[in-house]
């Protein structure tokens, strides 16, 4: 019985910690796609994580004299919690994705710039092979100025407000020209080079 409990707590601790970590790491993406359904699922996952964390702590306290490694399930849970609190996991995942698929981002920009798009259009859908570059349905925002356009790929689309994403501004243009078009209140602006910026705002 003790061995069965020990095996179960090890498995559940690893599963709950991994699910919690992934839910936070991909939080912006899932929220942009699933909205309230994701909120409901996260509520359940957090509850599951907390229950298993408390159980693993009790297991450690009760069996620390019997097993040398009884602290490991609790260590899984606390390590996961520290990582979630200490690191901007969504941002790190987005930057890694941008670095990995940068050529695809550039290709999508070229396609949009070559397309005949009405200057009154502020939202368009990406071609089917590039929809994964922008969350919330594969749409991007356009800002038209001086016969050129800035293109915003979303990594987060809040409901009703809030956005994060990567924006490409035209060559020989200044990001300052497009700030008011991106968001009424811009919290974050990071230069990624080659006229690419990471932005966050409301």
Given this model, what pLDDT does residue 186 score?
A: 78
pTM (two decimals): 0.83
Q: Are 49 and 19 in contact (CB under 8 A)?
A: yes
Domain that holds residue 130: 96-201
**Residues linked to residue 124 through DSSP beta bridges, in sequence order:** 140
Q: Give Cβ neighbours of residue 63 (< 8 Å, ≥ 6 apart).
A: 2, 6, 70
pLDDT of 169 over the 80 cut: yes
Q: Give Cβ neighbours of residue 90 (< 8 Å, ≥ 6 apart).
A: 24, 25, 26, 27, 28, 29, 155, 156, 164
Q: Is the same domain home to 49 and 142?
A: no
Reported as a pLDDT band with limits 50, 70 and 90, residue 2 is low
Of the residues 87, 114, 132, the one at which a domain ends: 87
3 state SS of 118: coil
Q: Are 165 and 154 in contact (CB under 8 A)?
A: yes
Q: Is the same domain home to 185 and 102?
A: yes
**Residues linked to residue 144 through DSSP beta bridges, in sequence order:** 149
Q: Is the same domain home to 138 and 157?
A: yes
Given this model, what pLDDT does residue 185 score?
A: 75
Given this model, what pLDDT does residue 184 score?
A: 67
Reported as a pLDDT band with limits 50, 70 and 90, residue 181 is confident
Q: Is the same domain home to 64 and 105?
A: no
Query: How far apart (Å, rounded) are the C-alpha atoms in residues 21 and 27?
Result: 10
Q: Is the same domain home to 71 and 28?
A: yes
**And the tokens for 133?**
């570059």
How confident is the model over 169-179, as a mean pLDDT? Answer: 83
Q: Is the same domain home to 120 and 180?
A: yes
pLDDT of 120 over the 90 cut: no
Q: Is the same domain home to 57 and 128?
A: no
Q: Is the same domain home to 183 and 126?
A: yes
pLDDT of 15 over the 80 cut: yes
DSSP summary character for residue 127: P
Query: How far apart (Å, rounded) are the C-alpha atoms in residues 131 and 65?
Result: 55
Q: Is the same domain home to 140 and 195?
A: yes
Q: Is the same domain home to 64 and 124?
A: no
Of the residues 63, 87, 111, the one at which a domain ends: 87
How confident is the model over 46-62, as a mean pLDDT? Answer: 93
Reported as a pLDDT band with limits 50, 70 and 90, residue 159 is low
Number of domains in the chain: 2
Helix, strand, coil shares of the chain, percent, nearest 5, are: 55, 20, 25
Of the residues 58, 87, 116, the one at which a domain ends: 87
Q: Is the same domain home to 83 and 101?
A: no
Q: Are 28 and 42 in contact (CB under 8 A)?
A: no
């Amino acid at each position: 019985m003790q061995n069965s409990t020990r095996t179960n707590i090890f498995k559940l601790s690893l599963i709950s910690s991994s699910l919690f970590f992934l839910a936070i790491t991909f939080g912006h993406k899932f929220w942009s796609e699933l909205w309230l359904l994701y909120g409901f699922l996260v509520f359940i996952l957090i509850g599951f994580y907390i229950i298993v964390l408390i159980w693993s702590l009790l297991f450690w306290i009760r069996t620390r004299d019997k097993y040398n490694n009884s602290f490991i399930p609790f260590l899984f849970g606390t390590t996961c919690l520290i990582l979630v609190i200490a690191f901007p996991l969504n941002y790190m995942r987005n930057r890694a994705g941008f670095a990995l698929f940068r050529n695809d981002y550039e290709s999508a920009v070229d396609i949009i710039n070559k397309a005949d798009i009405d200057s009154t259009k502020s939202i368009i859908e990406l071609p089917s092979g590039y929809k994964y570059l922008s969350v919330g349905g594969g749409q991007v925002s356009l800002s038209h100025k001086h016969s050129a356009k800035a293109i915003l790929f979303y990594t987060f689309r809040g409901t009703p407000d809030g956005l994060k994403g990567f924006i490409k501004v035209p060559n020989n243009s200044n990001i300052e020209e497009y700030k008011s078009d991106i968001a009424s209140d811009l919290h974050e602006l990071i230069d990624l080079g080659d006229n690419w910026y990471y932005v966050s705002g409301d």
